[in-house]
Amino acid sequence: MLIVMDAHATAADIEAVCAVVRELGYEAHPMPGPTRTAIGITGNRGAIIEAARIRLMPAVRDVIRVTAPYKLVSREFREMNTVIEIGGVTIGGPEVVVMAGPCSVESREQLFATADAVQQAGATILRGGAFKPRTSPYSFQGLGEEGLKILAEARERTGMPVVTEVMDTETVDLVADYADILQIGARNMQNFALLKKVGRTRRPIMLKRGLSATLKDWLMSAEYIMAEGNPAVILCERGIRTFDDHSRFTFDLNAVPVLRELTHLPIIVDPSHATGRWQSVTPMARAGIAAGADGLIVEVHPNPAFAVSDGEQSLLPERFVELVQQVERIAAALDRPIAGRASLAL
Amino acid sequence: MLIVMDAHATAADIEAVCAVVRELGYEAHPMPGPTRTAIGITGNRGAIIEAARIRLMPAVRDVIRVTAPYKLVSREFREMNTVIEIGGVTIGGPEVVVMAGPCSVESREQLFATADAVQQAGATILRGGAFKPRTSPYSFQGLGEEGLKILAEARERTGMPVVTEVMDTETVDLVADYADILQIGARNMQNFALLKKVGRTRRPIMLKRGLSATLKDWLMSAEYIMAEGNPAVILCERGIRTFDDHSRFTFDLNAVPVLRELTHLPIIVDPSHATGRWQSVTPMARAGIAAGADGLIVEVHPNPAFAVSDGEQSLLPERFVELVQQVERIAAALDRPIAGRASLAL
Amino acid sequence: MLIVMDAHATAADIEAVCAVVRELGYEAHPMPGPTRTAIGITGNRGAIIEAARIRLMPAVRDVIRVTAPYKLVSREFREMNTVIEIGGVTIGGPEVVVMAGPCSVESREQLFATADAVQQAGATILRGGAFKPRTSPYSFQGLGEEGLKILAEARERTGMPVVTEVMDTETVDLVADYADILQIGARNMQNFALLKKVGRTRRPIMLKRGLSATLKDWLMSAEYIMAEGNPAVILCERGIRTFDDHSRFTFDLNAVPVLRELTHLPIIVDPSHATGRWQSVTPMARAGIAAGADGLIVEVHPNPAFAVSDGEQSLLPERFVELVQQVERIAAALDRPIAGRASLAL
Amino acid sequence: MLIVMDAHATAADIEAVCAVVRELGYEAHPMPGPTRTAIGITGNRGAIIEAARIRLMPAVRDVIRVTAPYKLVSREFREMNTVIEIGGVTIGGPEVVVMAGPCSVESREQLFATADAVQQAGATILRGGAFKPRTSPYSFQGLGEEGLKILAEARERTGMPVVTEVMDTETVDLVADYADILQIGARNMQNFALLKKVGRTRRPIMLKRGLSATLKDWLMSAEYIMAEGNPAVILCERGIRTFDDHSRFTFDLNAVPVLRELTHLPIIVDPSHATGRWQSVTPMARAGIAAGADGLIVEVHPNPAFAVSDGEQSLLPERFVELVQQVERIAAALDRPIAGRASLAL
């Protein structure tokens, strides 16, 4: 931590700050400059120095935090990539994983048809929403437990592990009984009660980035889960809110290489939600893998015009076939195979 | 709703869209123009037309929604302002209400000292956090039920109603037993399970705006609460996330006059969280009341440098005295008294 | 400046950085901590240390700049407020100044009618655009020199000084011949050639904030003008671009108290452009003055529905009368009179 | 255009609006609905209906514009992609073009060394700044005409066409004498005087996106250039300003597929400025090409630590070699060759 003093700070002001720093168990290193003095602080072993306390002292201009506040999620804590294995599929390893399925589970027929189609096209994990967070209380809210049962049947039918969203603490155990991966949605990224609860399950957690979350906020939410004992966290970039109005959100793909340096956790990207328009899904799926992501999650629906939710961003199964073929070529250009597919011979 | 067709749409494309519209039980009004045709849709009685279904039809360029998706919260639904009465204080009426107290309840002594000070300065509602949402799992998380008990004691001591945050569905009943107003924090604004649960309590709800919530998103979250039967929702603007880096958030005060047109619900502003720096709290409290807000919520701490949270934005009690004096003069310039104070003689 | 080393930096890495720092003529203060070493740098006398050079050295994690990059505009450079006097009106002193007029000068009749009306209502500076920056090349681009002449006639008629926008270097001298204050528009805030050119005139410059300018960017642009020898810069907040869609821009009023600490320059706010809707102009004018601004600039038009530009945000003259009356009461609550008006007796 | 009336609008209100619409030479199509009436407008032949005039009429709630305001740049105006040919290199065709060079021209030696290196690695257009827009008036402002001369010599030496920024109207002719492509920087995207001036040259223009420009704003600026008679406009995405703080800007790659639908103009992406960190340049160059861009512009410097500007985002020549190799494989996955390179045999 670095404390910057005002230009007119007196020797007494500076000494007062140093005294507080030492009282808190740290060392203070005053560095007088031509216009102002800065004070370096070292020795942060555990206790978090209260920046506020110092910032409010006389003649203190700024307090600059240097150390990242997260630990377990950081690349410094663990140098090797975390690789998560679920039902024979690995996430975070050399293979690129493709998760796909409908936004909402609507019926057995709809889910089975979609599951078969995405599996045939190359997906190895099935997505589908049973509990749906909707902006409006009057919109379809999902089939609930009935939807979970249909997902479990689809897993038995296809062998694909299932990822589905859990929206509240009360249903965590229920969802964990049926699903292989629990998804925390963007709007719940800082629902700390929920993060703690899923941190105590034994399921991998796919943590979507909040609409206005910095990478630090996001990693701190992952830290909540890991701090409860669950090491299997998957990060999913799904677009942020900006002034831009050409699509639903702004897809922040540069988060991928930056996260790669900061954390050892796997990184998935969601071009369906990030763009909100099916025409962008395939190009941005290619871009996401080219940026270095470990996988994709994509919405596919056999009849998007009749989807109960998110129809505008859902791909038809035949367009999803093209997506996988194109993404496979991009992945091959990075020497990465698509999980579950024979290597593309180049 | 208005459907805009591509410039090259054929008569058959247009008729196909009209047929779907009619099949859904609406009327279609095609309007041929020199370069393209638009189709007006009328008759939305209940069922929500699925924009996605139409947007995905051939030769459709855009679908523009005209009607606001919220109902119970809208000014059109209820023309008169909602006025909420709690323990003799009214929110949303002609009086300007001042809520104040520490960020966190830290101890009986700290809360009592602050409660006495803010009451004497002119506050009529006491704030204080017992359950604290924190970005880091390693930060102080609040005293929990012990904090609620201390808040209830402070209410008995001072007669001031108490507002405090509820963070998860499991503690809603507990918090509602102790508190007079339940606060939903910015990070939980779209925690729909929580919104539904507090919608079934009999307590007024103070709903803070999410960091990246549009007014529509925010009003839809209020609609969730009202749709469960709770009519007493108070909106609280607390800053949004933007590129701007001079303070923690960007205080969107223009939301106040715009909300006034859209909704009948009371509007409170929070200059402490919106700016994150105590130096801005008094000027922005003045600005908020000048913009037309119904009240303020302000963080006050007897010793900010030692606050366990949010010390940098907390006012000393003596500065809070000045804030109330200044705000009182601003309110008087709008012919509004401060709740619980004799009218300022001008 | 503070250099933060990687956790695994070797003694040689640290020494290499210190050597470069010393070679550049500064002092290096290494501060070993439990997990990493930071290096404080002091002695920045003129030459700007190249952060990039150090950031690219092995084992350097971050370089944190401490000193603000602006000088002449800063409160540290000049402690007393800058007060600018034009034609008997002072900007930046105890009085609140009201500038008003139409978006565009459309005709002699339109400008004279508006000038008379705003003067009678309490304005003391006349605004009006002769050269108009328009998003579309097909929109009305202003009357040009003809408009400047009409503005000069209006000044003679009313005695009010005139503020008008200058859009390019070629017309700076022309505009300076007619106008009393030259306005730099938001879209030109970083048109550095234009900033330098107006810095060499003897006219006060009203510098509008760019749509995505941080306060630092904005102050650096003011520094460009001052560095050329022109000390009379007026800052004008006019809204920034954010995700928010309820009005044209987000009015960042908290910039006012923050700027007050950083700079000695006068601060004006523009509620017309910031909100883009006339219904918000009066409440946000009140809020701006309550936040501590030194004045307002407001668009007024005798017949907004027929304005060639910005009709939706222009006030009718009778509504502007109300605005001034309300703002006068707010200013009085801060013990500030409106320039050119007898003190409000309270 | 669609006019939405208030729920309580009377028949007379509606008729008054229709009368104004007809008076302006358009047709009005009232569509009564269960809660409110909407009025469709058709017939926009040239004259732009003044939305403001209607919006300000009694009982009008909203006016929704349907037609895009740009013409010459739109895909509807010209269906085929615009392909620009400069010195044997084509931009906007099947080939992916790589532009590279230093941020600033610093000396003959530096530019020649960089030019040779980037050409050998696979670049076919040379970039380099002679006039530099800098946030601070105290930063290096470029070598000016001397820099232009060095660029022209480098062109003679290597045969590569040269792209360089022009900052103001006064130097347009000078820069056009030396350079093959004129660049308009992000901060000048709405410097309309400059846009008009370069629209009257015969050089292709590379128009960078403004930091807070919507696609509509950006395309309108391109329209300014085309409306003056210059059809050769290249769009360059270089990052936008958002709340996100992990890199200098947020790289909005989804703009690429969206622009592809809206316009026929070539689209280039700039991963150096968009991310501001060299570690992100190669991954985001890959992502940009995977998203469908027609080319890249990349900063390369033989000794970034000593670059006078933008050193932190400049690639070393050896890293640029890797970038081109990787991008070539990505382009091949889309069946596009890199301009000037023998096809990659796959």
DSSP string, B111-162: HHHHHHHHHHHT--EEE-BSS---SSTTS----THHHHHHHHHHHHHH---E
C40:A31 CB<8 A: yes
What is the chain C residue with the closest CA to D303? C53
Q: Residue D270 in 3-state DSSP? A: coil
The angle at the Cα of D96, spanning D252 to D234, to the nearest 5 degrees, equals 60
Residue C127 maps to a domain: yes
Q: Which two tokens stand for residue D199?
A: 């629209």
| Dihedral of alpha carbons C301, C303, C308, C310, sign | positive
Give me the sign of the Cα torsion angle B217, B218, B220, B221: positive
Together in a domain, C59 and C117: no
Whether B341 is covered by a domain: the verdict is: no
Task: Judge: C137–D56 Cβ closer than 8 Å, yes or no.
Answer: no
Looking at residue A269, what is its pLDDT?
98
Q: Which residues does B contribute to its contact with D (CB < 8 Å)? A: 2, 4, 7, 29, 31-36, 38, 40, 42-45, 62, 64, 66-67, 76, 241-243, 245
Backbone angles phi, psi at D136, to 5 degrees: -105, 135
Phi, psi of A62 (to 5 degrees): -160, 150
Strand order in the sheet with B2-5: B27-32, B37-42, B2-5, B60-64
Single-letter code of the amino acid located at A79: E
Mark yes or no for CB contact A212/B217 under 8 Å: no
Count of domains observed in chain D = 2
Distance between CA C112 and CA C147 in Å, rounded?
A: 12
Q: Look at residue D346 in the predicted model and tell me its pLDDT.
A: 43
Verify whether the Cβ–Cβ distance C242 to B245 is below 8 Å. Answer: no
- Whether C52 shows a pLDDT value over 80: the answer reads no
Q: Can you tell me which residue has the tokens 């093959």?
A: D180
Does a structural domain hold residue D339?
Answer: no
Do residues D268 and D251 lie in contact, with contact meaning Cβ atoms separated by under 8 Å? Answer: no
At C221, give phi and psi (nearest 5°).
Answer: -70, -40
| SS (HEC) of chain A | CEEEECCCCCHHHHHHHHHHHHHCCCEEEEEECCCCEEEEEECCCCCCCCHHHHHCCCCEEEEECCCCCCCCCECCCCCCCCCEEECCEEECCCCEEEEEECCECCCHHHHHHHHHHHHHHCCCEEECECCCCCCCCCCCCCCCHHHHHHHHHHHHHHCCCEEEECCCHHHHHHHHHHCCEEEECHHHCCCHHHHHHHHCCCCCEEEECCCCCCHHHHHHHHHHHHHCCCCCEEEEECCECCCCCCCCCECCCCHHHHHHHHECCCEEECHHHHHCCHHHHHHHHHHHHHHCCCEEEEEECCCHHHCCCCHHHCECHHHHHHHHHHHHHHHHHCCCCECCCCCCCC
List chains touching B (3+ CB pairs under 8 A). A, C, D
Token pair 């890959």 in the structure block, residue: D286
pLDDT confidence tier of residue B66, bands split at 50, 70 and 90: low
pLDDT tops 90 at residue B310:
no
Q: Say yes or no: B103 and B60 in one domain.
A: no
CATH of the domain at A231: 3.20.20.70
Do B137 and A223 make contact, defined as CB atoms within 8 angstroms?
A: yes
Q: Does residue B118 lie within any of the structural domains?
A: yes
Q: Mutating which of B48, B70, B207, B241 best tests the A interface, going by the most A Cβ atoms within 10 A? A: B241
pLDDT at residue number D345: 45
Which pLDDT does position B343 carry in this prediction?
53
Pick the residue of D1, D2, D65 with the most B CBs within 10 A to test the interface with B by mutation: D2
pLDDT in tens, D213-253: 999 999 999 999 999 999 999 999 999 999 999 999 999 99
User: Are C295 and C330 within 8 A, CB to CB?
Assistant: no
Which chain B residues are within 8 Å of C242, Cβ to Cβ?
A: 240, 242-243, 250, 252
Mean pLDDT of B269-286: 97
- D219 neighbourhood in chain C, CB within 8 Å: none
Q: How far apart are CA D252 and CA C108, in angstroms?
A: 46
Do A26 and A127 share a structural domain?
Answer: no
Q: What is the pLDDT of residue D54?
A: 82
Asked whether residue D72 is domain-assigned, the answer is no
Tell me which chain C residue has its CA closest to the CA of residue D191: C188
* Contact indicator for D327, D312 with CB cutoff of 8 Å: no
Do C166 and C292 sit in the same domain of this protein?
yes
Output B45 or C82, whichever has higher pLDDT.
C82
Comparing CB atoms, the residue among C255, C292, C333 nearest residue B332 is C333
Question: Given pLDDT bands bounded at 50, 70 and 90, which one contains residue A345?
Answer: very low
Residue A337 C-alpha, separation from nearest chain D C-alpha, in angstroms = 14
Mean pLDDT, rounded, for A324-334: 98
pLDDT band at C345 (very low <50, low <70, confident <90, very high): very low
- Are D193 and C170 in contact (CB < 8 Å)? yes
Contacts of A325 (CB under 8 A, 6+ apart): none
Please give the radius of gyration of chain C, using alpha carbons only, rounded to the nearest integer. 24
Is residue B264 located within the same domain as residue B223? Answer: yes
Q: Which pLDDT tens digit goes with each residue over B168-219? A: 999 999 999 999 999 999 999 999 999 999 999 999 999 999 999 999 999 9
Nearest-Cα distance to chain D for A257, in Å, is 6
Average pLDDT estimate for B224-230: 95
| Contact of B242 with B224, CB cutoff 8 Å | no
- Quick one: pLDDT band at residue A33, thresholds 50, 70, 90? confident
The region, left, alpha or beta by phi > 0 then psi within -120 to 50, assigned to residue C74 is beta
pLDDT digits (tens, 9 = 90+) for D286-337: 999 999 999 999 999 998 888 878 788 999 999 999 999 999 999 999 999 9
pLDDT value, residue C343: 53
Cα-Cα-Cα-Cα dihedral of B200, B206, B212, B217, to 10°? 50
Interface of A with D (CB under 8 A): 212, 214-215, 240, 242-247, 250-258, 261, 274-275, 277, 279-280, 283-284, 286-292, 326, 329-330, 332-334, 346
State the pLDDT at residue C128. Answer: 96
As a whole number of angstroms, the distance between CA B259 and CA B204 comes to: 19
Per-residue CA distances from D194 to B43, C210, D169, D182, D217 (Å) = 50, 18, 5, 11, 16
Please state, in angstroms and rounded to a whole number, the distance separating the CA atoms of residues C295 and C122. Answer: 12
Q: Are residues A9 and A114 in the same domain?
A: no
Q: How far is B45 from chain D (nearest CA, A)?
A: 7
Query: Average of pLDDT values for C118-147?
Result: 93
Q: Please report the DSSP string for C248-305 in residue order.
A: SSB--TTHHHHHHHHB-S-EEE-HHHHH-SHHHHHHHHHHHHHTT-SEEEEEB-S-GG
Give the mean model confidence (pLDDT) for residues D134-150: 91
Q: Which residue has the higher pLDDT, D134 or B328?
A: B328
pLDDT for position B342:
60
Positive or negative, the CA dihedral B258, B264, B269, B274 is negative
| A55 and A90 together in one domain | no
Q: Mind giving me the DSSP string for D173-208?
A: HHHHHH-SEEEEPGGGTT-HHHHHHHHTSSS-EEEE
Name the residue facing A214 among D240, D245, D334 (closest C-beta). D245
What percentage of chain A carries pLDDT values higher than 70?
95
Domain CATH code at residue A34:
3.30.70.1140
Min Cα distance B11 → chain D (Å) is: 17
From the list D255, D284, D332, the residue facing A254 with the nearest CB is D284
- Domain, as residue range, for D99: 84-333
pLDDT digits (tens, 9 = 90+) for C147-156: 999 999 999 9
- Taking one residue from B and the other from C, the number of pairs with CB-CB distance under 8 angstroms is 127
Question: Looking at residues A298-305, what average pLDDT do you find?
Answer: 91
* CB-based contact A327:A286 (threshold 8 Å): yes
**pLDDT bucket at A346, cuts 50 / 70 / 90:** very low
Q: Is residue B71 part of a domain?
A: no
**Residues recorded for chain D:** 346
| Amino acid C49: pLDDT | 62
pLDDT in tens, D1-49: 778 888 888 999 999 889 888 888 888 888 887 777 888 887 755 445 6
Distances (CA, A) of C125 to A297, C8, C119, C161, C282: 58, 62, 8, 5, 18
Count of beta carbons in the 10 Å neighbourhood of residue D261: 11
Are D191 and C191 a contacting pair at CB < 8 A?
A: yes
Domain assignment present for D225: yes
Cβ atoms within 10 Å, residue D302: 17
Q: Is the residue at C133 inside a domain?
A: yes
What value does the mean pLDDT of chain A take?
A: 91
| pLDDT-derived band at B104, boundaries 50, 70, 90 | very high
Q: Does pLDDT of B220 surpass 90?
A: yes
Q: If pLDDT is split at 50, 70 and 90, which confidence band does B309 have?
A: confident
Q: What is the DSSP letter of D104?
A: B
Average pLDDT value over all residues in chain C: 91
| pLDDT per position as a tens digit, C161-219 | 999 999 999 999 999 999 999 999 999 999 999 999 999 999 999 999 999 999 999 99
Dmax over CA atoms of chain B, in Å, equals: 77
On the question of pLDDT at D115 being above 50, the answer is yes
Checking ipTM against 0.85, whether it exceeds it is: yes
Looking at per-residue pLDDT, the higher value among B71 and D271 belongs to D271
The pLDDT score that the predictor gives to residue A20 is: 86
Of D48, D52, D191, the CB nearest to C188: D191
Judged against a pLDDT cut of 70, whether residue D130 lies above it is answered with: yes
What pLDDT sits at residue D344? 54
For residues D60 and D156, state if they share a domain: no
If asked whether residues D257 and D303 sit together in one domain, one would say yes
Ramachandran sector of residue C92 (left: φ over 0; alpha: ψ -120 to 50; beta: rest): left
Express each pLDDT in C257-302 by its tens digit: 999 999 999 999 999 999 999 999 999 999 999 999 999 999 999 9
Q: Name B254's Cβ contacts closer than 8 Å, sequence gap at least 6.
A: B291, C246, C247, C250, C251, C274, C275, C280, C283, C284
Average the pLDDT over D154-165 and give the result. Answer: 97
Interface test mutation site (partner D, options B8, B36, B243, B249, max chain D beta carbons within 10 A)? B243
Confidence at A296, pLDDT banded by 50, 70, 90: very high
Query: Cα separation of C216 and C69, whole Å?
Result: 8
- Cα–Cα distance between A73 and A90 in angstroms, integer? 19
* CA proximity to B53, closest of B45, B41, B35, B43: B41
Dihedrals phi, psi of C242, to nearest 5 degrees: -140, 180
Higher pLDDT, D305 or A95: A95
B chain contacts of residue D43, beta-carbon cutoff 8 Å: 33-34
Contacts of A169 in chain B (CB under 8 A): 168-170
Are D7 and D98 found together in one domain?
Answer: no
Give the model's confidence band at B346: pLDDT under 50 very low, under 70 low, under 90 confident, else very high: very low
Report residue D129's pLDDT band, with 50, 70 and 90 as the boundaries. very high
Mean pLDDT for the stretch of residues C106-122: 97
Domain identity same for A48 and A94: no
Q: Per-residue confidence at C46, pLDDT binned at 50, 70, 90? A: very low
Q: What is the mean pLDDT of residues D183-201?
A: 97
Mean pLDDT of A39-50: 65
- B37 and B177 inside one domain: no
Q: Which pLDDT value is given to residue D123?
A: 97
Name which residue leads in pLDDT, B88 or A31.
Answer: B88
pLDDT given at position A190: 96
Q: C53: which chain D residues are within 8 Å (Cβ-Cβ)? A: 305-306, 311
Which pLDDT does position A186 carry in this prediction?
Answer: 97
* Whether pLDDT at A325 is above 80: yes
Instruction: Identify residue B75 by its one-letter amino acid code.
Output: R
Q: How many CB atoms lie within 10 A of CB B336?
A: 19
List chain A residues with CB under 8 Å of C239: none
Of C131, C161, C165, the closest CA to residue C147 belongs to C131
Residue A39 pLDDT greater than 90, yes or no:
no
More confident residue, B21 or D108: D108
